[in-house]
Amino acid sequence: MLESIEKIRKEAEEFLASAGGTAEQFRLTYLSKKGILNGLFEDFKKVDPAQKRAVGQQLNVLKNALEEIHASLQKETSSDTGKLPSEDLTLPVVPDSQGSLHPLSIVRRRIVEIFSRMGFNAEDGPEIEYDWYNFSALNFAENHPAREMQDTFFVEKADATRDDLLLRTHTSNVQIRLMDRKKPPVRSIMAGRVYRNEAISARAHCQFHQVEGLYVDKNVSFRDLKDTLLHFSKEMFGKDTQIRLRPSYFPFTEPSAEIDVTCFICGGSGCNICKHSGWVEIAGSGMVDPNVLANCGIDPEEYTGFAFGMGIERITMLKYGINDLRLFFENDQRFLKQFVGI
Ligand code: PHE
């Protein structure tokens, strides 16, 4: 009998060490009415009277040991259930996903900020526009082929009460709305979305973003245009940047010029981005055509002005080496995540 008491004590200790069983399982096996301990007490009755004292003592020792084991099992399970995983300081940190600005927003903000330091205030205008503001007031004659340079999405055809309604093809509509409202001096920067009926590809999209600048006052000259854009280019692309003006044509500016900057990828020595010319085109510009000023009730004899417009996607693609325009509109996390912290 003494041997089996000893064996049971060992088994019970192993039960505790194995950590596999619950307090309840332990109680059922050892301490319940039909459990092992009660069985031993039954057997105890039949023990030889000469041995009763020694066996009785051991039996009590076993009983105490089993009760202790049961108590410690109970303690373990109750403290387990009360524990929240977050209290385990050894667990790895739950990753915190940080949002980021869209690359187009980063570049737009930067452009607007540079011009606002030069005294340009930010203005806004509608994306759904009348033909007058998008074309006619900007000196696009009725059947002028330049209207076809910008494939237009029409919203509603004109009727007796109003003009054609369309999605603006450039931000130049805001120039007209601004000069209608405000007399010179006008010095504003206007960023926004524009639409053209183009097949979507890596290089073209039916929607994109432009930033337009307009400065109208007495004695505004072509030199002011050049200096303003040179300063902007140095701020935006680095202080060694130079600009080059190439003659161009826009119905609303005369003379007109395309603005190139020294390639900020290769510094002008020639690379794939600048097609080995050392220059990249960033904007269209020119002196506001006198007809446009007159269309807005501003006397072209008294005032002159310059305007420029640039594509935000184009600058962003050049700046970050992005080669597919569609990436800007897909909102793929794998693309956007790369701009965290910029
Ligand atoms: N609106 C012209 C375009 O979209 C850009 C431009 C703006 C050119 C202002 C000259 C002056 O192509």
207 with 322, same domain: the answer is: yes
Which residues of the chain fall short of a pLDDT of 70? 19, 77-86, 146, 148-150
68 with 108, same domain: the answer is: no
pLDDT score, position 22: 82
68 with 119, same domain: the answer is: no
Residue 143 falls inside a structural domain: yes
Pairing of strands 253-262, 243-250: antiparallel
pLDDT score, position 146: 66
pLDDT score, position 19: 67
Residue 98 falls inside a structural domain: no
Domain-terminating residue out of 45, 78, 111: 78
Residue 180 falls inside a structural domain: yes
Q: Got the DSSP string for 244-279?
A: EEEEEEETTEEEEEEEEEE-TTTTTS--TTTTTSSE
**pLDDT (tens digit, 9 = 90+) per residue, 231-249?**
999 999 999 999 999 999 9
pLDDT score, position 79: 58
pLDDT score, position 301: 97
Q: What are the φ and ψ backbone dihedral angles of 27, each rounded to 5 degrees?
A: -60, -45
Q: How far is Cα of residue 261 from the mean position of the Cα atoms in its chain? A: 28
191 with 252, same domain: the answer is: yes
Residue 96 falls inside a structural domain: no
CA distance readout (Å), 217 to 64, 228, 292, 304, 307: 101, 15, 14, 6, 12
Residue whose CA lies nearest to ligand 1 atom number 3:
170
Share of residues in the chain with pLDDT > 90 (%):
58
Domain-terminating residue out of 61, 78, 95: 78
Tokens of 200: 């979507």
Residue 312 falls inside a structural domain: yes
| Domain that includes residue 30, residue range | 2-78
Domain-terminating residue out of 32, 61, 78: 78
**Number of residues that make up the chain:** 342
Pairing of strands 253-262, 279-288: antiparallel
Residue whose CA lies nearest to ligand 1 atom number 9:
308
Pocket test for ligand 1, best of 172, 248, 249, 292 (most atoms within 8 A of CB): 172
- Tell if the pTM clears 0.75, that is, is over it: no
CA distance readout (Å), 138 to 89, 287, 306, 318: 66, 12, 13, 29
pLDDT score, position 9: 86
Q: Which atom of ligand 1 is nearest to the CA of 172?
A: 1
279 with 142, same domain: the answer is: yes
> Rounded CA gap, 145 and 147, in Å?
5
The domain total for the chain is 2
pLDDT score, position 98: 80
Start-to-end Cα distance in the chain: 79
Share of residues in the chain with pLDDT > 70 (%):
96
Q: What are the φ and ψ backbone dihedral angles of 147, each rounded to 5 degrees?
A: -60, -30
Ligand 1 centroid, distance to 210 Cα (angstroms) = 9
pLDDT score, position 129: 97
276 with 312, same domain: the answer is: yes
Q: Which atom of ligand 1 is nearest to the CA of 171?
A: 1
136 with 204, same domain: the answer is: yes
- What CATH number does residue 225 fall under? 3.30.930.10
Residue 251 falls inside a structural domain: yes
Residue 258 falls inside a structural domain: yes
> Rounded CA gap, 73 and 79, in Å?
10
142 with 255, same domain: the answer is: yes
> Rounded CA gap, 307 and 286, in Å?
6
Ligand 1 binding site (Cβ under 6 Å of any ligand atom) = 170, 172, 212, 250, 253, 284-286, 307-309
70 with 153, same domain: the answer is: no
139 with 49, same domain: the answer is: no
pLDDT score, position 316: 94
> Rounded CA gap, 284 and 282, in Å?
7
Pocket test for ligand 1, best of 150, 151, 168, 170 (most atoms within 8 A of CB): 170
115 with 239, same domain: the answer is: yes
17 with 155, same domain: the answer is: no
Residue 91 falls inside a structural domain: no
pLDDT score, position 81: 53
Can you list the positions of beta strands (E) in the chain? 121-123, 128-130, 154-156, 165-167, 186-195, 207-217, 243-250, 253-262, 279-288, 304-311
Q: Which atom of ligand 1 is nearest to the CA of 210?
A: 4
> Rounded CA gap, 187 and 117, in Å?
12
pLDDT score, position 236: 94
